[in-house]
Amino acid sequence: MALENTLIQEKLTQKFGNSVTNFATMRDIFTLEVNKDKVHEVIQFLKDDEELNFHFLTDLAGIHYPDNNVDEQFALTYQLHNWIENTRIRIKTFLNGENPEVQTITDLFLCSNWMEREAWDFYGIKFTGHPQLKRILNMDEMVSHPMRKEFPMEDGGRTDKDDRFFGRTPVNC
Amino acid sequence: MSDLLLSPEQRYAKIIEEKRNEDGSELNVLNLGPTHPATHGIFQNILLMDGERILEAEPTVGYIHRAFEKIAENRPFYQINVLTDRMNYCSSPINNMAWWMTVEKLLNIEVPKRAQYLRVIVMELARIADHLICNSILGVDTGAYTGFLYVFQFREKIYEIYEEICGARLTTNMGRIGGFEREWSDEAFKKLNTFLEEFPVAWKEFENLFERNRIFIDRTVNVGPISAEKAMQYGFTGPNLRAAGIDYDVRKAAPYSSYEDFEFDVPVGKSGDTYDRFCVRNAEVWESISIIKQALAKLPDGPYHADVPDYYLPPKEDVYHNMESLIYHFKIVMGEVPVPVEEIYHAVEGGNGELGFYLISDGSRTPYRLKMRRPCYIYYQAYPEMIKGSMLSDAIVILSSLNVIAGELDA
């Protein structure tokens, strides 16, 4: 029997109350939002609970929302997968824009090590308790976090590519 | 500050000093890579060696990082396909198809059966090419060049089939949103049939050369083993995971593109060592051949792309003579087609494991955020642990058997 979304929701709300919100099914994936202080606990619960058993971390992605209010300018999504029931779940958590910080989950999933380093490298999200939080794909000397939206993709001084002539502005490109 | 935050040279210098004071042993630091001919790609590992044995390793990745995720945020959907080519360049059609399927999932496009079957055929061809390279190069790394020479011409044949389908060979940029850009030519099917006749013979011969070969077994059995538990912890997917004994395959777990219509087995290994990885890939090639044969036998007639004028470019000659085509052409190129606001995750079984695209769309012509789940990047983390305590020459063999592709690692 497949793992029902309602069961996951019930268990999580019972355990975490108001820290887990916005349950929704986005196409084939059940999603929820978690308060950033509870991320580690929720993931640990999802992993260790015998019925839920989300034992595989598929992916971890940082996201930048510069237009949100300051407490929600960064987001992290964790995708967990239960292979036995073949159920996926996606957890989203919002982080502060000035000091994005969240507890590491490297103690739960070894593979989150590089994923968290990638999020640090590209978004500057700090993972407290991470054993080796340093840049991974970019060079160590780099000072900026290039996947943030304010970081331009190309040199702003270029004159040979003027997108305005094609009806595009920085906003609608 | 944790020692791990230091550069490997500084960290190793400490260990060497300690060891020297402790028992007078002389450890060495060896820099393997970034461009070493034995590593088949841009991989740097800074190794701490005790004679021939590896005590510690620290990989440096990112030498060919091209910021695909950043570029993708500035490109319309149909231009992102060329980025996916360059991830796992040994099996680019799988990446291409994975990307189109992600976009189709976002846009709710139903792809015709024929296009789905054609996609299965080309994806399985790509899987054969991928496994063929991995296994034959593994042979080269253990000192057996012959097998590589036998089968490598068949990668050329596969590339010729790609060429018939899309005109390109390595970075294929194959397909469009909703299907293919053109119907497959008769020549493509002819080449495919010839391939299906000739390749199994060569692959059987290749297998015979290696599977019970004393030297090969000595070099690979119990080299770089990983337990199922550890493999799962490290995020392994694909053949490397299955070699450890877990039968997770995206094609079975979440069938896409009509994979549910075909019968195939998911080969698994037991100990997760280099030999098992080799055998799993070998067996998967046979399964792929069988899937292609089934798909060809059942190939339905019908259109080769979905009827979605909002997203599928009209034929060029119509653009000049037909008003609607001109309008659609303009709208697609200028990015004025409707895109839903949604978050989508789509995964396929790539050459090396679960290749996933996590696409956040804000309704504009470009993705708001595109996260590529690149299997290589995730499982390469396990490499330092896997080579710990083994010989330097084994480290090379383990790296080849993991089939880490630099393009996918760094994206």
Asked if A58 has any chain B CB less than 8 Å from its own CB, the reply is yes
Q: Do A166 and B65 touch (CB under 8 A)?
A: no
Chain A residue numbers touching B105 (CB-CB < 8 A): 27
For residue B356, give the nearest of A54, A94, A88 by alpha carbon. Answer: A88
Element holding B273 (H helix, E strand): none
B68-308+336-373: which CATH architecture?
A: Orthogonal Bundle (1.10)
Chain B residue numbers touching A147 (CB-CB < 8 A): 69-70
What number is the average pLDDT over the span A50-76? 93
Chain B residue numbers touching A90 (CB-CB < 8 A): 343, 345
For residue B322, give the nearest of B334, B330, B311 by alpha carbon. Answer: B330
DSSP helix/strand/coil, A25: strand
Chain A residue numbers touching B240 (CB-CB < 8 A): none
For residue B138, give the nearest of B268, B348, B265, B281 by alpha carbon. Answer: B281
Amino acid at B166: C
* Cα–Cα dist B110/A161, whole Å: 37
**Could you tell me where in chain B the CATH 1.10.645.10 domains are found?**
68-308+336-373
pLDDT at B300: 94
In a domain, residue A153? The reply is: no
pLDDT at A123: 94
Beta strands in chain A (DSSP E): 20-26, 29-34, 56-64, 74-82, 87-95, 101-103, 126-128
pLDDT at B135: 94
Q: Do A115 and B378 touch (CB under 8 A)?
A: yes
Q: Do B356 and A113 touch (CB under 8 A)?
A: no
To which residue do tokens 């303009």 refer?
Answer: B330
pLDDT at B5: 83
What number is the average pLDDT over the span B324-353? 90
CATH number of the domain enclosing A30: 3.30.460.80
CA quadruple B68, B69, B71, B76: dihedral positive or negative?
positive
Contact assessment for residue A53 and residue A85, using Cβ atoms and an 8 Å cutoff: yes
Is residue B333 very low, low, confident or very high in pLDDT (cuts 50, 70, 90)?
A: confident
For the cut 70, the answer to whether the pLDDT of residue B322 exceeds it is yes
For residue B242, give the nearest of A53, A82, A1, A83 by alpha carbon. Answer: A83
pLDDT above 70: percentage of residues in chain B: 100
A92 to chain B: nearest residue by CA?
B343
For the cut 50, the answer to whether the pLDDT of residue B217 exceeds it is yes
Q: Do A111 and B235 touch (CB under 8 A)?
A: yes
Q: Do A83 and B358 touch (CB under 8 A)?
A: no
Q: Do B356 and A59 touch (CB under 8 A)?
A: yes
Q: Do A114 and B4 touch (CB under 8 A)?
A: no
pLDDT at B365: 84
pLDDT at B131: 94
Is residue B4 very low, low, confident or very high in pLDDT (cuts 50, 70, 90)?
A: confident
Which own/partner pairs from B182-191 qualify as long-range (CB within 8 Å, at least 24 positions apart)?
Answer: B182/B304, B183/B304, B184/B118, B184/B304, B188/B161, B188/B164, B189/B296, B191/B157, B191/B160, B191/B161, B191/B164
Chain A residue numbers touching B368 (CB-CB < 8 A): 63
Structural domain for A34, as ranges = 17-148
For the cut 50, the answer to whether the pLDDT of residue B42 exceeds it is yes
B5 to chain A: nearest residue by CA?
A132
Asked if A63 has any chain B CB less than 8 Å from its own CB, the reply is yes
What secondary structure does DSSP assign to B31-53, as a single string? EE-SS-GGGSSS-EEEEEEETTE
Chain A residue numbers touching B356 (CB-CB < 8 A): 58-59
For the cut 60, the answer to whether the pLDDT of residue A102 exceeds it is yes
Q: Do A114 and B105 touch (CB under 8 A)?
A: no
- B263 by Cβ neighbours in 10 Å (0-12 / 13-18 / 19+) ranks as exposed
pLDDT at B1: 57
For the cut 50, the answer to whether the pLDDT of residue B213 exceeds it is yes
What number is the average pLDDT over the span A11-20? 90
* Cα–Cα dist B45/B57, whole Å: 6
Residues 6+ apart with CB under 8 A from A63: A74, A75, A76, A77, A123, B360, B368, B369
Is residue A1 very low, low, confident or very high in pLDDT (cuts 50, 70, 90)?
A: very low
Asked if A5 has any chain B CB less than 8 Å from its own CB, the reply is no
In a domain, residue A23? The reply is: yes
DSSP 8-class letter at B176? B
* Cα–Cα dist B78/B212, whole Å: 47
Contact assessment for residue B48 and residue B409, using Cβ atoms and an 8 Å cutoff: no
Q: Do A132 and B2 touch (CB under 8 A)?
A: yes
Q: Domains in chain A: how many in total?
A: 1
How much is the ipTM here? 0.90
Q: Which residue in the set B105, B248, B358 is minimally distant from A61, CB to CB?
A: B358
* Cα–Cα dist B116/B99, whole Å: 14
Q: Do B382 and A133 touch (CB under 8 A)?
A: no
Pairing of strands A126-128, A101-103: parallel
Asked if A115 has any chain B CB less than 8 Å from its own CB, the reply is yes
What's the whole-number average pLDDT of chain A?
Answer: 88
* Cα–Cα dist B127/B158, whole Å: 11
pLDDT (tens digit, 9 = 90+) per residue, B260-317?
999 999 999 999 999 999 999 999 999 999 999 999 999 999 999 999 999 999 999 9
In a domain, residue A158? The reply is: no
Asked if A86 has any chain B CB less than 8 Å from its own CB, the reply is yes
For residue B223, give the nearest of B376, B389, B50 by alpha carbon. Answer: B389
